[in-house]
Amino acid sequence: MERQMKRLSTLLIFMLALAHGVFANSNTEATESNKAVEVNIFQFKVEIADELQKAARLYESKNPGVKIVIETVGGGDDYGAALRAKNASGNMPDIYNIGGPQDAKDWNSMLEDLSDQPWANNVVGTENVTMDGQLLGLPFAVEGYGLAYNKRIFKAAGIDASKIVDFKSLEAAAVALDLKIKNGDLADEFPLLEAVFEYAAKETWVTGLHTSNIALAQELGSGLTASEAKTIDFKYADGLKKIIDLQGKFSSSSENTGLLNAVDYSTQVDTGLGIERVAIIQQGNWIYGGVKAVDPAVADSLGFLPMPMVGAKEDSIAVGVPMYWSVNSETTDAEKSASKEFLNWLYTSEEGKDIVVNKFFFIPPMKSGYENYPVADPLGRSITEFISAGKTIPWVFMGYPSGWGMDVLGVKIQAYYAGELTWDEAVSQAKAEWANAR
């Protein structure tokens, strides 16, 4: 009897242990199965950073199995260099940004094919990120940039912006406005107004990418052509000099243009155009939200003037896709799936469309589906007017050799402003470094 009781006791202990193990394992499996899939996003657009975080929190509330972690690097920081550093450290994100043909080549082995996504046949600008039949990115938006100007200041100065259609008329307007500012004619209504322009030469993406694009787009024609060009002629270098000189001559640093090399994005936008310290800046429709945060009345008085390239198109602005959302092909299947679903929601759901147009202030990159979400801000509307009139120049700077625009040409423009290089030297050296890079 005693032996049987011991056997039963041993068997009972064994069965309890086994049951406990099964329960523990099943509980662990349940915990693991309920664990949120984490999607890490590394993006460049500082202007939407806060609203993108809000969008992520809204998505998480509707999708409790997903956690969205966002890091933003942009503005005055080099996003491309930061992304390369992440890759080198083994911390590549699940969703990241590429800029066009050159980036598509550079990151090709880590880009997921998105051709099967529901939006794939409904977006514009895909030619820049299509390789070997694979679609490697979702366009952020359609954007445009030119000379953003304050309509209230122009009206007070008696300057008709509709008459500014080429470099000659732009220069005449700058001379007239500069004279009124210096004479104090506008001081009562605009007490902070001190200059026509503010040019952010510290931001080499402004100079080396955006300003230069007005010249090189009309030489090269497309981002794809730019990405394949072994050399450049810099056919419109003289016209480019005119735009750069004009923005320096009629800036608050006209007496010493080297000081423009310290002017950053915030100085140009927030404490420049935003407070009506200057009347014109070279920027794009992405500034609307920032200016609105400073002064809604100023934001709603903005429009675009063309960026004239003497010898080529003089009545146009640059229009293109700023960046593309891409998915890391080397992450897990669960993370890839969750990444795609988030992007789908952001651009195709009704909630997402509202965010894209009314929170990000984007011109949507979709051919259809946004009929109930018209572009509401004045800068976006101004761009659509240029597009409708056929007065646009393509974006080709994302086809420049990697780093050339910001780290080479932008730096040489700084040296030119500082008097360390002549314009011919800056152009000659930039051409040579393009060829070396290719």
Instruction: Indicate if the pLDDT at residue 28 is higher than 90.
Output: no
Burial tier of 58 (Cβ tally within 10 Å: 0-12, 13-18, 19+): middle
CATH homologous superfamily of 143-320+388-437 equals: Periplasmic binding protein-like II (3.40.190.10)
Number of H helices, E strands in the chain: 18, 13
Q: What percentage of residues in the chain have a pLDDT greater than 70? A: 92
Q: How confident is the model at residue 5 (pLDDT cuts 50, 70, 90)?
A: very low
Instruction: Indicate if the pLDDT at residue 12 is higher than 50.
Output: no
Instruction: Indicate if the pLDDT at residue 142 is higher than 60.
Output: yes
Domain 143-320+388-437 in the same topology as domain 35-141+322-369: yes
Q: How confident is the model at residue 14 (pLDDT cuts 50, 70, 90)?
A: very low
96: β partners: 42, 326
Q: How confident is the model at residue 61 (pLDDT cuts 50, 70, 90)?
A: very high
35-141+322-369: CATH class: alpha beta
Alpha helical stretches, state H, 158-295: 167-183, 204, 212-220, 223-228, 237-249, 265-268, 288-294
Least confident stretch, 2-16, 172-186, 416-430: 2-16
Least confident stretch, 101-110, 162-171, 229-238: 101-110
Asked if 113 contacts 134 with a C-beta cutoff of 8 angstroms, the reply is yes
67: β partners: 38
What residues contact 191, with CB distance under 8 A and at least 6 apart?
A: none
Whole-model pTM? 0.81
Cα–Cα distance for residue pair 76/167, rounded to 1 Å: 29
Burial tier of 229 (Cβ tally within 10 Å: 0-12, 13-18, 19+): buried
Q: How confident is the model at residue 34 (pLDDT cuts 50, 70, 90)?
A: low
Instruction: Indicate if the pLDDT at residue 18 is higher than 70.
Output: no
Residue type, 83: L
What local confidence, expressed as pLDDT, does residue 166 receive?
98
| Domain limits, the chain | 35-141+322-369, 143-320+388-437
Instruction: Indicate if the pLDDT at residue 383 is higher than 90.
Output: yes
Neighbouring C-beta atoms of residue 4, cutoff 10 Å: 8
What local confidence, expressed as pLDDT, does residue 288 receive?
94
